[in-house]
Amino acid sequence: MGRVISCCNAKGGTGKTTVALNLASIFASHFRKKVLAIDLDPQGNLAVGLGVDPREIRKTTFRLLMDDAPDMDQYIQKIKPNLDLIPNALEPNMEAMLSSRRNRERLLESRLQPLKDRYDFIILDTPPALETSTINAMVASDEILIVIDCGYYALYGLNQLMETLSEVQREFQKYDLVIRALVNLFDQRQKMDREVREEVERFFESLMLETVIHKNVKLTEAASSGKPILEYDKKSSGYFDFTRLSKELLDIYDRKRKAEKEGTASRAR
């Protein structure tokens, strides 16, 4: 069964899209996993970062959520071997239309159900707000990756995000939902970045991933030229960090699978 991972933070510019697209492409290309990336953000940046011309986007995630009997293959765009995408785009009144639907928080979960055995990973990029589409992503997820930048207001809004996640866990009986924190845009030379990292560590404790994504201009250049970092610059620190992140996550899942087999699941993260 495919593992559904959401990149979340109610704050913009923390690197959610950067993480979603690079994680998806490294899982797919380097580790030969079958990956579906889905954009829940109406700004549609995920498609741009994967080289899709926004003018060629027709079937969006929003339309999928509004479609009661979707033909999934109409929505899924093939990007590369092992990597598919459902893009998103801005339309008027999206939030109002979504929030007036019955079962509005479970729309994505039910759309993904028949897809889960077709993919190893389904990676969701979410908007910088706690709105209906973000809640849909949380409800559909096995795992939340909170992407945190090292700026002035890095910790701003994290309490509210954690509270929303607790509500989702309670209301939708998602007691297995895994939460992890990832520090992005880190510059070891900056005192503030080191302080933010320590603060994030104190806040998240064992939920922190060991890998940190350093600030690396190649990641921005890659995204703006429509390429994941592994196609843009394999010598960059960005490529190194994302490969390390993918490896760290895959190792965690392997350990978990082994522990489940041996009946010691509770001891594995």
Ligand X SMILES: Nc1ncnc2c1ncn2[C@@H]1O[C@H](COP(=O)(O)OP(=O)(O)O)[C@@H](O)[C@H]1O
Interface with ligand X includes 18 (CB under 6 A)?
A: yes
CA distance 41 to 43: 5
Using the minimum distance from each CB to ligand X, give the nearer residue, 45 or 115.
Answer: 45
How many chain residues interact with Mg ion (CB under 5 A)?
3
CA distance 202 to 151: 17
Interface with ligand X includes 77 (CB under 6 A)?
A: no
CB of 171 to ligand X, least distance (A): 25
H-only helix segments in the chain: 16-29, 45-49, 61-66, 72-75, 94-99, 107-112, 132-140, 158-171, 191-204, 217-224, 229-232, 237-261
Per-residue contact track with ligand X, 143 to 182, x per CB under 6 A? ----------------------------------------
**Hey, which residues does 123 pair with through a beta bridge?**
5, 37
DSSP letter assigned to residue 76: P
- The residue with its CB nearest to Mg ion is 17
Residue 185: contacted member of ligand X, Mg ion, none (CB under 5 to 8 Å, by partner type)? ligand X
CB of 186 to ligand X, least distance (A): 8
Where along the sequence are the contacts to ligand X (CB under 6 A)?
12-18, 45, 128, 184-185, 213, 215-217, 219-220, 223
